[in-house]
Amino acid sequence: MSATAPVLETQDLTIRFGGHVAVNKVTCAFLPGTLTAIVGPNGAGKTTYFNLISGQLAASAGKVLLHGRDITNLPASARTQRGLGRAFQLTNLFPNLSVFENIRLAVQARARAGLSLLALWTDRSDVMHAASVILERVRLADKRETIVGTLPHGDQRKLEIALLIALEPDVFMFDEPTAGMSVDEVPNVLEIIGELKRDASKTILLVEHKLDVVRSLAGRIIVLHNGTLVADGEPAEVMASAIVREAYLGQEFEDA
Amino acid sequence: MLARILSGDTPRSPILTVALLVILFVLTLAPFLFSGAQPLNVAAKICVFILLVASYDLLLGYTGIVSFAHTMFFGIGGYGAAIALSRLGPSWSALALGIFIAIAVAGMVALVIGLFSLRVRAIFFAMITLAVATAFLVLASQLSGFTGGEDGLNYSVPEILRPSFRLFEQPIFGTAVNGRIVTYYIVFFAALFGFLLLLRVVNSPFGSVLQAIRENEFRAEALGYPVVVYRSIASVVSTMMAALAGVLLALWLRYTGPDTTLSFSIMIDVLLMVVIGGMGTLYGAAIGATLMIIAENYLPALMGKLGEAAAGIPLVSSFLSADRWLLWLGILFILSVYFFPTGIVGKLRTLWQDRKSKATQKRDGGTTGEAI
């Protein structure tokens, strides 16, 4: 199994905002079939690290490799086309379009059907069908025609995940997928992520604050602090590590 | 079949359907419904502007691009046909060459502007288009050897399109079918075809991406759509249609000058038509263009009549004089934007939607009542 090549790698990945180094020389490789949780206190650079990987921010130094290819200088759209999928922490949807149209846009991106200027949607039953399947899967079928801006927060979070699933990426990046969800909605989301995890070809990155979620899902935890990678290993090992406990996560661990 | 022609984008409001059918009916039969040059002139202008405004709505309403250079592309179309016809003589091949060059130039200019500047923020893009359009206007009035300068160009059209030409020996429904009527139908069918083509584009998978970019550019990029490429293609399609509209106007007027195609007052008219009709719906373009052109042509006369009627009343009569029509148009515009921010089409659709959902509620309420 050690022969498995990493799908995603970062090498000395760094970004500076003026004098502040938000992500500092993070080197890390992510293997398929593993769910890696990225934890750390607020402001540790977790979301910034995500933004560097998925291309929303340009790195000051270092490299991002996807399937062994350097993608550091590619725009976000090109990275997504190469198999990197990202869901956002703050809900980031198309507010005046319907739930179905939102999902269809993601399916369409994966099907490379964006540039057909003269086709009708009725000619693309493949895309329409795939979008309906995902709509069922995230349990939003009854809200198919609802305008997204009017959806409750929890449903918007579900839709955010639906868009990521619809892209069928090789690498799934979840940024606090359960943030702001009511307690009864969380299991549904965890179930969806758990299903993805069972597919051994998928690589999953998860930024999450809730430690019970991390414990139940993650096969590996990396800890960021002040932009630096300070711990990396199996959940039990990392959570037991004295540095992590005392310096960064102590408070949260005691609560949990 | 009909749904396919309309690309599945039905009017979704009975009042709107009726209004659109009336416009289509009157425009189809305009040469036989009215006599005299003025009504046919208005009808031809409505056809041209429906196409021009619809092409602008692809940019503004669907993609969220604010451009002030749309009349420049309208002008490229007009001057393309005009220069070809005046230089090469009134032949069909000259006209075809003019159309081809005009549309190709419009597309290329749009592509260059798009790729260079559609990555900047919307407000900067608007400024850039304003600068380019101003430069083009100055250029067109300065290069008088080529464009006729401020005077513009007068030229002849192919023989079949001249007023002296008769298509049939006998008049049809009491109207002699002359070259002007032939020209009218070329304008009408070209505009109709262009409109249906745009309707197809906005309802295609490509059109969905444009709306996604308008809604959330950042997320569209994250889903894997290169935003600059999509915006540039939208801009090219839109400007090629604007150039086609320019060609049609050039054919109809047999004159092309800065005032008929390039001037900023036309740009403002186009903006008003899109906003009044309803942004982000091509039917809005049809409604907006029709209302505005009719108002521009008949409001002054109506005001004149009212002014005469009110001649005895001192202050009122001066407000009602024919010269004040622009004031009243302005008031109408402010009122319509205030009361229908989503335009006439948006308002009509919401009204119908509300009515339908109320009817459903009533029905559902009734059945539950019985069940209990």
Closest chain B CA to residue A78: B224
| B203/A163 Cβ within 8 A | no
Is residue A248 over pLDDT 70?
no
Q: What is the mean pLDDT of residues A248-256?
A: 49
| A117/B208 Cβ within 8 A | no
Superfamily of the domain at A1-75+169-256: P-loop containing nucleotide triphosphate hydrolases (3.40.50.300)
From chain B, the residues in CB contact with A121 under 8 A are: 8, 203-205
Which token pair is B325? 């029509």
Counts for chain B of helices (H) and strands (E), in that order: 16, 2
Q: Tens digit of pLDDT for each residue in A154-179?
A: 889 889 999 999 999 999 999 999 88
- Do A110 and A142 contact (CB within 8 A), yes or no? no
Give whole-number Cα distances, B293 to B39, B127, B239, B286, B337, in Å: 11, 28, 21, 11, 18
Query: Of A56, A124, A163, which is closest to B205 when you measure between CB atoms?
Result: A124
Query: Of A78, A97, A119, which is closest to B205 when you measure between CB atoms?
Result: A119
Q: Tens digit of pLDDT for each residue in A198-239?
A: 988 999 999 988 888 888 899 999 999 889 998 899 988 888
Delimit the CATH 3.40.50.300 region(s) of chain A. 1-75+169-256
**Whole-prediction pTM:** 0.90
Provide the shortest C-alpha distance from residue A64 to chain B (in Å): 17
- Do A99 and A145 contact (CB within 8 A), yes or no? yes
Provide the shortest C-alpha distance from residue B239 to chain A (in Å): 15
Which is nearest to A58 in space by CA: A22, A86, A84? A22
In this prediction the ipTM stands at 0.90
Angle between helix axes B227-253 and B70-88 (nearest 10 degrees) is 50
From chain B, the residues in CB contact with A118 under 8 A are: 200-201, 204
Q: Angle at CA B322, nearest 5°, toward B318 and B326?
A: 95
| A113/B225 Cβ within 8 A | no
Q: What is the mean pLDDT of residues A86-112?
A: 93
Q: Which residues pair with A9 in a beta bridge?
A: A29, A65
pLDDT score at A247: 56
Strand order of the sheet with strand A35-39? A84-86, A171-175, A203-207, A35-39, A220-225, A228-233
Structural domains of chain B, with CATH: 2-359 (1.10.3470)
From chain A, the residues in CB contact with B216 under 8 A are: 92-95
d(CA A195, CA A217): 11
Q: What is the mean pLDDT of residues A33-48?
A: 91
From chain B, which residues contact A within 8 Å (Cβ)?
4, 7-8, 200-201, 203-209, 211-212, 215-216, 218-227, 230, 233, 237
From chain A, the residues in CB contact with B224 under 8 A are: 77-78, 80-81, 109-110, 167
From chain A, the residues in CB contact with B219 under 8 A are: 88, 92-94
pLDDT score at B369: 42
Q: Tens digit of pLDDT for each residue in A117-163?
A: 888 898 899 999 999 999 998 889 999 999 999 999 888 988 999 99
Which is nearest to A207 in space by CA: A34, A13, A16, A49? A49
pLDDT (tens place) for every residue of chain B, 372 residues total: 888 889 888 899 999 999 999 999 999 999 999 988 899 999 999 999 999 999 999 999 999 999 999 999 999 999 999 999 999 999 999 999 999 999 999 999 999 998 888 777 788 999 999 999 999 999 999 999 889 999 999 999 998 898 888 888 888 887 888 999 999 999 999 999 999 999 999 999 999 999 999 999 999 999 999 999 999 999 999 999 999 999 999 999 999 999 999 999 999 999 999 999 999 999 999 999 999 999 989 888 888 888 888 877 777 777 777 777 778 878 888 888 888 888 999 999 999 988 888 888 777 665 444 443
pLDDT score at A254: 44
Provide the shortest C-alpha distance from residue A123 to chain B (in Å): 10
**Residue B6: burial class (beta carbons within 10 Å; 0-12, 13-18, 19+):** middle
The residue length of chain A stands at 256
A91 DSSP 8-state letter: -
Give whole-number Cα distances, B257 to B24, B135, B186, B190, in Å: 29, 16, 21, 22
Q: Angle at CA A227, nearest 5°, toward A225 and A232?
A: 55
**Residue B59: burial class (beta carbons within 10 Å; 0-12, 13-18, 19+):** buried
SS3 A86: strand
Which is nearest to A166 in space by CA: B11, B222, B74, B280? B222
The residue length of chain B stands at 372
pLDDT tier at A251 (50, 70, 90 boundaries)? low
